[in-house]
Structure 1
Amino acid sequence: MTRLLICLDSGTTAVKAAAFDLAGHLLASAERPNTALRREGARVEQDMEASRDLAMAVLRDVAAQAQGRPEGLILTGQGDGLWPVDAEGRPVGNAFTWLDGRARALAAAMAPALDAIEAVTGARPTAAAQSLQLLWLQQNAPERFARIAHALRLKDWLFYTLTGTLLAEPTAALPVWGSWRSGETSRLVQEALGLTRGVELQPAFAPVGEARAALSPAAAAITGLPAGLPVLLGPGDVQSTLIGLGLGTRPEVTRASVFGTSAIHACLLDDPDTMPEAPRGAMVQKYVLGEGYLCFHPCFNGATVLAHLGGVFRDPATPHEPAYSPLILHPFLEPGGERAPWTDPEASGALFGLTAATTPAQIAWAGREALAFVACTSHAMMGAPGGALSLGGGLARDAAFARFLATCTGVPVLRSPTAHAGPRGLAAIAATHLLDAGQEDIALHWIGPAEERLMPDTGPVADYAQGKYAAFRQLIDTTRPHWAVLSDLAAKAAPLHDKEYA
């Protein structure tokens, strides 16, 4: 009977599971849409029990497909957000996701406190930060806040539902609650915010590889996996996906960009203090498969920008080829503003150059250009070493976008649109800790080569991209001082929607 490693990746858009044999071959995969997400304006929550049920369902699906003998299960999920449980381990209401914007006003109003926290953690709290989400509950729902015994993340919650063990790993928690330099949490975070409880709500920490427990009989009965199976708590979905894209595992890959619900731009550095520029929303995590640190810019506004454009402009066509135009889009369409490379809870979008002659394809392509320009800004700020950029997420399937991204960044772009980067990265981590796989084995068998290598364009396309990128940056510098005014106007306009006028 084939021996297997099972991987679970619970994302914002979809919940996925995969089964690999012990040579790194993908044998089965299962995916279900994330129907647990609840979006209403700035409130973007997730039903915790429905999230558990979805995870169990995809594990059951993949176990039934694979028909082998599992040797271990490793899991990850959204890295940010607040998944609160009481003293009995029951959900205290819905979870705050990383897209929830209710703490946006707190992030805008507490600059001195956030400055002090940033000096310790290296990352400025945003509306996605668990600390600010707890503060919002303390101020707006004190009875609910008082019931919270543990402040989990999605992957911690799923680990608990699968094993009955409350446990976390430090790479996801330290950017909010401590320091990547010391590896320790700090009470200064909650003291600066005026939180009555914070660090003490975190579960016990164990490093990736040591953060493990046995699959419970109850979870085994639901999933079809064997009771007692070793369950490993992986790093956040960001690091798992970056590993699967080859960052730190393919020799030529020095940077990566992922365009899923959010966008993530990252590089691997020995010393994060050498970055030319570190925006307040940047994050640093210890690399879990070796030496160094992952430095990355987590953007609120990723490939969902294209879906938002479809809603606003009545579903502009997806261009099969580039639709170059004078349009310049600022893609800050999420209610939480933006996190990186521009850190501002009041950031809002804009579209320049719109005329009656504008076509739907031009609008859709302008959205893709904007995402490429943000990526270019992030990689320049991080100072990634020379090499190739590995591209992941849904937009990796768009060859025209991948080529434009190569042109903007000036480096080769590697894409593997069918590679299942998140599960593959998880499998590589599990193989390291359960099978003692070495770096060469990981690179060759678990990650493997990219499917396609795209080189930057030259000539007129490169001139167009360079000129438009410069205009994109200049227009951000011009409009950024007006974001607070626009946010204030939005607050004044909101109650007027409920009034009727004769």
Structure 2
Amino acid sequence: MILGIDLGTSMVKATAFSIDGRCLGSAARRTVLNYLGAGRVEQDYELLVQSVGAVVREVVASTGQTPIAIGITGQSDGLWLVDDKGHATQAAVSWLDDRGNPYLKNWIDNGTFEAVFRRNGNAIFPGSHAPLIAAMAAADPAALERAHTVTYLKDAILQRLTGVRVTDASDASLPFLDTRTREYDPEIFRLLGLETYRRLLSPVIPAPGQAFPMTRAGSELTGLPEGIPVHAGPFDLPACAIGGGVRNVGDGLIIVGTTLACEVLVDEVRTDGPPVGMTLCLPETGRWIRALPATVGTASLDWILGIIGADATDVDRLLAQSRPGAIGVAALPYFSATGERAPFVDVNARGMLSGLNTSTTRADLVRAVCESVAYAARHCIEAAGLTGNLYVCGGGSNSTLWSQMIADALQIPLHISPRPEVGARGASMAALRVIGVDFDADAWTRPEGVITPDKAMAAHYERGFAFYQEMVAAARPLWHSPYRV
């Protein structure tokens, strides 16, 4: 078997797969996000390390097999500061943290933001390395001096398992990489005024990646034998594309997760369009993922569910109780404190509910938010340039009615990516390729079914999408009003 580890924002998971792609078992531990107020969100890296050891031991015990290799994927961005042994020097700053907002806003205002995009096709957002490094350099420069490496979570875990300090080109793509050459771009560091901190970044592994043997320390953590190859592959957005069935240029994937990630496989880096989204290197050269990861997603739905005292198990029941259009209730789902990053960038973007009256029900509120996320998916997937098949995965896709709503809003068939754990599946596939094991990619990524759009709903959702765009246009001046409290 092969083991895929997915270091998500809300869960750490380990999933075992047979060489023909069957899921043999999975284990998970919930992560802890520490909300410190004033938009600050941190995580305890050492606690995550222990969770990795626990889930690996659990899934290996349940299968009774030792993996031939381990593939790692997970959340990107944030600020993970470690020493030369890969141990945390302080709490990690989550990608959900908004302390980078003023630095990004300044870069947007002075043209630096667009200048970086024109070099590598990546739009910086508040939770990415550049603004968080800038914020820490201003508020706590000693923290950066104490650290040996400013890294990403999956690369920090790789170092704990193998002792190797590297990163892959997908993580490094945003913001400092020349995505064509896969080398750091000195001009980007200069534009951002962060040349001093180049030394803190890990070397980028050349394509198609590399696996490293597990050390004694890794063995003690996981209970696995020393020497097992460990591959720190692409982070979760490209890994999901690989595991979700995206194979041909123009194919796309919608991940209905904490964020709504809409992505399309491309064969060139384009920097001439609007400065938005990400251009992420895949393991193979000449291929990139054009990603528009909106901050809306299940996080927006969870927020409204919490407001009304419901949870994810209630979603389909509530959607069934409210007809399309939610009796005039409409939403903008930008509830993240960091604003929005796709298909437009605005750190001041905020959520909105309109059309409320005394007849509005809890179900109407849920439907309005779900419809707004569906419209955001259409907005992003059109901007990403989809021309081929479209796949769907993520926790939100487990809702039958919400998935149908997304298909209806796009009027595009949604191929259901193989479950469970699409990200871990992609990480496992990438690892198998690197260690030279032949496998049937079609078997690994065969869709579980297709959600066909209801043509009878096309006109309704066309009007709804137009109104959604009108709401965005009307709200944007309000987000920047001098009278905003």
Taking structure 2 as the reference length, what is the TM-score of the superposition? Answer: 0.93
**Structure 2 counterpart of 1:500:** none
Is 1:452 equivalent to 2:449 in the alignment? yes
Choose the corresponding residue for 1:374, options 369, 373, 376: 376
Contact 1:412 1:456 in 2 (8 A): yes
**Structure 2 counterpart of 1:498:** none
**Structure 1 counterpart of 2:307:** 312
Distance 1:190 1:286 in 2: 19
Distance 1:86 1:215 in 2: 19
Distance 1:401 1:289 in 2: 34
**Structure 1 counterpart of 2:241:** 242
Q: Tell me the secondary structure at the aligned position of residue 375 of structure 1.
A: helix
Distance 1:55 1:378 in 2: 33
**Structure 1 counterpart of 2:359:** 357
Choose the corresponding residue for 1:34, options 19, 31, 34: 31
**Structure 2 counterpart of 1:116:** 115
2:82 maps to a residue whose letter is V
What displacement does 1:172 show?
A: 1.3
What displacement does 1:372 show?
A: 0.8
Contact 2:375 2:409 in 1 (8 A): yes
**Structure 1 counterpart of 2:390:** 389
1:127 maps to a residue whose letter is P
Distance 1:388 1:190 in 2: 37
- Percent identity of the aligned residues? 27
Choose the corresponding residue for 2:463, options 440, 464, 467: 467
Q: Aligned ranges for residues 214-229 of structure 1 at < 5 Å?
A: 214-229=213-228
Distance 1:253 1:318 in 2: 32
Contact 2:113 2:124 in 1 (8 A): yes
Q: Tell me the secondary structure at the aligned position of residue 356 of structure 2.
A: coil
Quickly say closer, same or farther: Cα 1:209–1:227, change in 2 above 3 A.
farther
**Structure 1 counterpart of 2:415:** 414
User: After superposition, what is the alpha-carbon deviation per residue over 1:109-128, rounded to whole angstroms, capped at 9, x for unaligned?
Assistant: 22222232222232222111
Q: Where in structure 1 are there 5+ consecutive unaligned residues?
A: 491-502
What displacement does 1:130 show?
A: 0.4
**Structure 1 counterpart of 2:437:** 436
Is 1:207 equivalent to 2:225 in the alignment? no
What displacement does 1:388 show?
A: 3.0
What displacement does 1:196 show?
A: 5.0
Taking structure 1 as the reference length, what is the TM-score of the superposition? Answer: 0.90
Quickly say closer, same or farther: Cα 1:206–1:443, change in 2 above 3 A.
same
Distance 1:299 1:148 in 2: 31
Is 1:299 equivalent to 2:300 in the alignment? no
Distance 2:249 2:25 in 1: 29
Is 1:141 equivalent to 2:140 in the alignment? yes
Contact 2:46 2:87 in 1 (8 A): no
2:473 maps to a residue whose letter is D
Q: Tell me the secondary structure at the aligned position of residue 337 of structure 1.
A: coil
User: After superposition, what is the alpha-carbon deviation per residue over 1:248-269, rounded to whole angstroms, capped at 9, x for unaligned?
Assistant: 1xx6982110011111001112
User: After superposition, what is the alpha-carbon deviation per residue over 1:466-487, rounded to whole angstroms, capped at 9, x for unaligned?
Assistant: 101100001101111221238x
Contact 2:149 2:201 in 1 (8 A): yes
Quickly say closer, same or farther: Cα 1:205–1:280, change in 2 above 3 A.
same
**Structure 2 counterpart of 1:493:** none
Contact 2:211 2:232 in 1 (8 A): yes
What displacement does 1:208 show?
A: 5.4
Contact 1:286 1:293 in 2 (8 A): yes
- Deviating 4+ runs (over 6 angstroms): none
Stretch of structure 1 that moved more, 477-486 or 283-292 = 283-292
Distance 1:348 1:70 in 2: 45
1:457 maps to a residue whose letter is D
Q: Where in structure 2 are there 5+ consecutive unaligned residues?
A: none
Distance 1:117 1:231 in 2: 33
Distance 1:426 1:18 in 2: 10
**Structure 2 counterpart of 1:339:** 341
Contact 1:280 1:340 in 2 (8 A): no
User: After superposition, what is the alpha-carbon deviation per residue over 1:348-391, rounded to whole angstroms, capped at 9, x for unaligned?
Assistant: 11111111111111111111111110110111112211x43211
Distance 2:114 2:284 in 1: 31
